[in-house]
Structure 1
Amino acid sequence: MQVKKITATLLAVLISLTLHSQSVGLVLSGGGAKGLSHIGVIKALEENNIPIDYVAGTSMGAIVAGLYSIGLSPDEMIRLFRSDEFKSWQQGQSEKMYETHIYRRDATPELFGATFNFSRKEKKINYTLPTNLISPYPMDIAFIQLFASSSAAAEYDFNKLMVPFRCVSADIVNKKPYVLRRGGIGEAIRASMTFPFAFKPIMIDSVLMFDGGFYNNFPWDVMIKDFNPDYIIGAKCSTNPTEPDTDDLLAQLENMMMVETNYNIPPEKGVLIDGDYTNVGLLDFEMLDAMVQKGYELAMKNMPEILQRVRERRSAKELSEKRLAFRLKTPQVIFDNINIIPDTLRKGKREFII
């Protein structure tokens, strides 16, 4: 009889703990190189044993959130962004091992191209403007290396990653945000960070995708809708567009296309980590150390409130075990077959398929 009472008591305690366990969601804004500060925010949270149960981000925030969702630690992210490989991806340069496999145009001074058609039926000139300034192929291959095995381990369901993940892209045809919940993580992040003219847009679910920051640069609403955590920690490193200079094309594009974002997390739902990022450009990735330190300091400034509001704790040992368990599930990436669908290519390009 006594054993039954003890068992019942233990069961009641376990049920109570389960019912009252507190979940935490981390939301990371876009902001180009300023988004490197998100790594410092995560570092501060982990050092204080604050759990991160869900992550969501846009553009650069999607990159950092995606890396965290597959188990990379802040120190591993720092090494990645400091590496020569990352510098090559950022500049659209191929790694030496792939140089013979990636198409690369010869350097020319041209801004746009023209095609002359002298057929009897149709005499015309077709003008083509570049869709991107940075070659996408090295980055696309890098994203396969980084994310493909984790996508497979999660069965292409972002809820099954080490940390459930969401990112936002922009459906520019229908002019609305597009939340990515399934598929390849690399493709989703690539869509979320595709800034016009800098990177070539990609198609997902037959939708042409651009940088999610145009329609939702801080997806705390997505975090609530999809995960509804007890507490949200938001990291903001961007602002709504200000008047651009006459010679700043990227800033002009931001002003033309970007919808004003609501960065105000209701106080009862969470906290916003914010700071001044003046004089940090979209592509100033050489400021890695300064940005990580800034994010860390801003997070530590808000830590007393976070520690007071978040009761749950997750030790470094528990986090390490969680990372290891997910990594053990990931298969090796092997390129064993390449399928080309001729119907998707123009007539001229089909001639190059053997």
Structure 2
Amino acid sequence: MLIHLIAAARPNFMKIAPLYHALKKEDWAEPIIVHTGQHYDLNMSDAFFTDLNLPAPHIHLGVGSGSHAEQTGNVMMAYEKVILEKRPDLVVVVGDVNSTVACTLATVKVSYPIKNSKSKIQNLRRPLVAHLEAGLRSFDRTMPEEVNRIATDALADVLWTPSPDGDENLIKEGVVQDKIVRVGNIMIDSLEMMRQTIERQHAFTDYGLKKCQYGVMTFHRPANVDDPKLLSMLCDSLISISEQLPLIFPVHPRTRKNLQGFGLMDMLEKAETIILSEPLNYVRFMSLVFNCRLAITDSGGIQEETTYLGIPCLTMRPNTERPVTVTQGTNQLCFVSDIKEKAELILSHDLTECQVPEMWDGKTAKRVVDAIKRKFIG
């Protein structure tokens, strides 16, 4: 059974890696890594693939950057040619980037006979599409990722969800129960797969920091970094927080550009309790997260990882597509107006009791493989 695993950027590779390894153990599966090239990532080095024990992508579409429409259209055109040539049985898309919806659209629109003696889908005229990390909703359609999630889930044939809220969202949208399979959080598989490598790093020592005596912060979303007034207020709050807890700030290229353009970089560079760095690879960044006292972010994945690790997290967004990290985990949503107050409250109190969501246990890839076998192999 030929299975394409679609990835567009570093977080996507983190999600497909455990599944690729689980599928490679099966004699009925031939997993193929397809890199759309939607994002150019300085940290996508050979070491990155070595750490994940992944081969170089088998297929590289080389799409590159562009507007949302350009990326989506270019990925669709490039991947359609691959589908017609390679004829996969199953296409697995992950996450919520433009490549996720683009490869889904390309796949559901092709038509050809599928020939696979071991598969139950011989008579279908196209590959099936499975969405790993389905059902997540922020209910904010101003976020391009939300639009991608909704469209992908509406079109995919199989929906693998990470948590009960994902199931509930899909059912409310009219998705039939038979399409939905809760498998857990694949990023926790990646974290556990890399745990020993991460724990050997002790990256915090390279910056003169002490274990559990610093915070990690990341910001890149346009809503937070594209408005000069808001970004200035955020910098003021972060400097104030850093006076109680030193902060390390790996600066995203978009954020750095705006900090420089708005004349704000100088104030951060002068703050003695804020350490600025270039973007870090996954192992070094997670080494910092593993040993920090607090994470401050607007990213999605860190909300999950800190919940799993039991580390307080402040997410500067009005909503999250991962509400289980708030209702069960260590995450709190905040605004620039109350981020300082919430940080001070966290630092002055011990962590309140939280729990790791069900199926966030490092066994998601196995459950996905079992789901594929039940549906396609028998």
**TM norm structure 2:** 0.25
Instruction: Name which structure has the greater RCO, CA cutoff 8 Å, separation 6+.
Output: 1
Bigger radius of gyration among the two = 1
